Structures are given as C-alpha cells and as structure tokens.
Amino acid sequence: MAGIEERTFIAIKPDGVQRRLVGEIIRRFEQKGFKLVGMKFLHASEELLKEHYSDLKDRPFFAGLIDYMHSGPVVAMVWEGLNVVKTGRVMLGETDPADSKPGTIRGDLCMHVTRNIIHGSDSVESANTEIDLWFQPEELVSYQNCTDDCIYG
C-alpha cells in the first residue's frame, strides 16, 4: 500500500522524560498502528540542537529553547506508517497546549508552551531532514510488521 513507508521524527523533550511520559507516548503511537523503526535515549549536544532548530535561530526565544532542550535527556524516535507525519502532528496537538484538544498528547499531558513535552516533524521533507540529522542509516531497522494486514487491510 502506498505511503506505508512514510517516516516521521518524534522527540520526547526533557520535560517529558523527567515527568516519566515516555511509555505513555510510545503507547499512543503503537496503539494507533505506527511502527517504531528507530529510537535512542541521549543528551543532545548544543550543536545538534542548534542545527535541528536552525529555522528558529532569529527568534527571541532561540537561546532559551536550546538551553531547555540541552537541560536533560531526550528520546529521539523514528516512526513509520501511512500518513505518519500528518497523523503524528494531529496526535501531538497544537504547539501551545492551551490550544490543544483533549485526547491529544499535549492536550492531555502538558500545560505551558515552553514545556510542551514533544516534538514532531511538520512535513515529510522536514521529517527526512530531522531523521538524517539524528540517526545514522544503520540505526534504523526495516522489518515487516505482522499486524500490517490488520491495520492496513
């Protein structure tokens, strides 16, 4: 089926790790039917974070964002599935949790825009760029999921 191989980059930010929400977030993506193909637990370097958020470098909150993301470990993941980028963004909710609907990760699990617990790619192009930035090709695992017929028909 076309589109099943689409991938997105999802990162649980330091506040999500500190609040022990990693399992809950993974559960939501797995229950939806997406396949985890890469994951690492790391303390991201400032250089990696500056490159990841380079599109925001001229914004007044950039330095604070880098400091916050560098303040503790993150869980970087690659998820695969049909329309995973778009659906993943819907699952995350709005950047500002106050604007997020109940049932979304941010709507259910966080309160303030500066501590919104999770990052998700906003397009297929940015997903590919972010995946290449955070993962080496050999760190991603391709495999046939035995539940694909149940999920995709």
Enumerate the active-site residues.
119
CA distance 78 to 39: 6
Element spanning 9, H or E: strand 7-12
Question: Residues annotated in the binding site, as ranges?
Answer: 13, 61, 89, 95, 106, 116
Buried/exposed code over 7-30 (b: 16+ C-beta within 10 A; e: otherwise):
bbbbbbbbbbbeeebbeebbebbe
Amino acid residing at 145:
N
- Alpha-carbon distance values, 142 to 76, 81, 88, 95, 131 (Å): 17, 12, 19, 30, 14
> Can you tell me whether residue 112 is helix, strand or coil?
strand
Which amino acids are annotated as binding site for ATP, given as ranges? 13, 61, 89, 95, 106, 116
